Amino acid sequence: MCVRQKTTSCVGVLGDEEMKLKQLSFSKWCLIDLAERMGDFPGSPLVWIGVLSSFSLTSLFYQLYQEKKNELKELKEIPIFKADQHLMKVLQASPHKRLEYVAVEGLVQADGEPLASQFVPRCFGVIQKTTVTELWQNSFAKMWDSCTLRNIFKSQLLIYRETSNSVPFSLVSPGAYSNDLFVKVHNPLEASGSYLERVYNKVGRAEECFSNEIPIVTEETEELLRVGTTLTGFGEVVLEGGQVIRLQAPQDGRKYILVPSDHRSFMDRHEISARMWKSLTAFTGLMGTLFLGEVFFNSVGKQGGRSR
């Protein structure tokens, strides 16, 4: 069995929330200053802040809607195939036996022996990622508050270790037999997308010890791309030797993506997201118009009272 393994680790110092507090304080003073400057305009300063905020959000949501709309349009232009004989015929008829960027949908099947979960019995996959996160403190860096007898940690470290394993796997059509057509997935660890399923998660608190640095909290997780999962891959498809179909990273720079669902569900999620941004654009635009109308009618009412 060919198993690829990759281990990464990183250690960082935990910072405080000072920068976020400064940003919140700056935003608060900006709104106060804006309200004071608008005191000479007709209508309440809070109403004017509501007008500006509503139209600012309208502009932001409209931009997000346009981006999602364009992305959805590009996705609809990508040809979709299943791991079947139709894909084989299209590849045989195409120049250089290659499709530059398509979507291929199928079930995950290990080419050999699958990976077994380290924590869950009878759970198998083709990509496995285990992470261990530890929050450490320096025991010599404790400061005691004499009034409340609380210990304040001045030095904390976050230690993150990740190990990834993978075995060769392919995409097959539902109900296919072992000798049917399949699509090999090349270098899946290079693909983007949240295609791993969390099958195990444990958070624990470590006990005190006599070392200088002791762990406070440890978290251990395991994620798998499980055998039998419906997967849609976006990338380049090539035919090798007239028999083997391979899905790989595109050579034209476009993204190599693996999605843990069928193509129709993937498109539905994008359409729901586009409708959400469109609805928010309409809602905030309507609210801004109502706020502006209130200012206008109040101004007209005051002018009518003065003329009397």
Distance CA 228, CA 41 (A): 65
Task: Specify burial of residue 49 (Cβ count, 10 A radius: 0-12, 13-18, 19+).
Answer: middle
In order along its 308 residues, the chain shows pLDDT tens digits of: 566 666 555 444 334 445 544 544 554 455 455 455 554 455 566 666 777 888 888 899 999 999 999 999 999 999 999 988 899 999 999 988 999 999 999 999 999 999 999 999 999 999 999 998 877 665 544 444 444 444 554 456 667 788 989 999 999 988 765 556 899 999 999 999 889 999 999 887 755 554 555 667 788 999 999 999 999 999 999 998 888 999 999 988 899 999 999 999 999 999 999 999 999 999 988 888 887 777 666 665 555 555 55
**How do strand 98-110 and strand 80-82 relate by DSSP bridges?**
parallel
Contacts by 36-41, CB closer than 8 A, 24 or more apart: none
Residue 120: φ, ψ to 5°: -110, 120
CA distances (Å), 116 to each of 10, 127, 169, in order?
A: 26, 10, 14
pLDDT of residue 48: 65
User: Which pLDDT score is estimated for 56?
Assistant: 87
State the DSSP string of the chain: ---EEEEEEEEEEPP-SHHHHHHHHHHHHHHHHHHHHGGGSSS-HHHHHHHHHHHHHHHHHHHHHHHHHHHHHHHHTS-EEESSHHHHHHHHHSGGGEEEEEEEEEEEEESSSPEEPSSSTT-EEEEEEEEEEEEEEEGGGEEEETTTTEEEE--EEEEEEEEEEE--EEEE-TT--TTS-EEEEP-GGG-BS---EEEEEEEEEPPP-SSSEEEEEEEEEEEEEETT-EEEEEEEEEEETTTEEEEE--TTS---EEESS-HHHHHHHHHHHHHHHHHHHHHHHHHHHHHHHHHHHHHHHHHHHHH-
Q: What is the pTM of this model?
A: 0.71
> Are the beta carbons of 284 and 61 closer than 8 angstroms?
yes
Stated length of the chain: 308
